[in-house]
Amino acid sequence: MAAVLAVAVSRVTLISMLMALPDPPATDAASGPPVLGVDDFALRKGRAYGTVVVDVDASAVIDLLPDRSSGTLTAWLTAHLGAEVICRDRDNSYSLAATTACPDAVQVAVR
């Protein structure tokens, strides 16, 4: 990028400047992101499944839950309040968990 911008600077200087940038502000651990994605994944195909919780805005995995039961997801959503939109598959257990823990959140069911 320095070459494209025609800036004569060494790699060490660029790295030092990047390291001097402040860290992004920390978010409150008790509150979750406003847009969540929830889906299942295979720990062992055909035998053991878990739930992945994704921050849709940041495209980052937030947490991996050990199973795909509604109780586990309800407990997670209750501990991390703040979800306004929940993107989920059409599984009834995810629907029940989202309705129980975040009754005001908009649910988007995907195929």
Which residues are CB-neighbours of 80 under 8 A, at least 6 positions away?
30, 31, 32
Q: Is the pTM of this model over 0.85?
A: no
| Domain of residue 41, residue span | 30-110
Residue type for position 100 = T
Provide the CATH number for the domain around residue 91: 3.30.420.10
Q: What is the pLDDT along the chain (111 residues), one digit of tens a residue?
A: 777 878 888 888 888 988 998 876 665 555 678 899 999 999 888 888 999 999 998 888 999 999 989 999 999 999 988 889 999 988 889 999 999 999 999 999 877
Q: Is residue 25 part of a domain?
A: no
The answer to whether the beta carbons of residues 39 and 89 sit under 8 Å apart is yes
The answer to whether the beta carbons of residues 64 and 50 sit under 8 Å apart is yes
Count of domains for the chain: 1
The answer to whether the beta carbons of residues 98 and 88 sit under 8 Å apart is yes
The whole-angstrom separation of Cα 80 and Cα 30 is 5
Q: Is residue 90 part of a domain?
A: yes
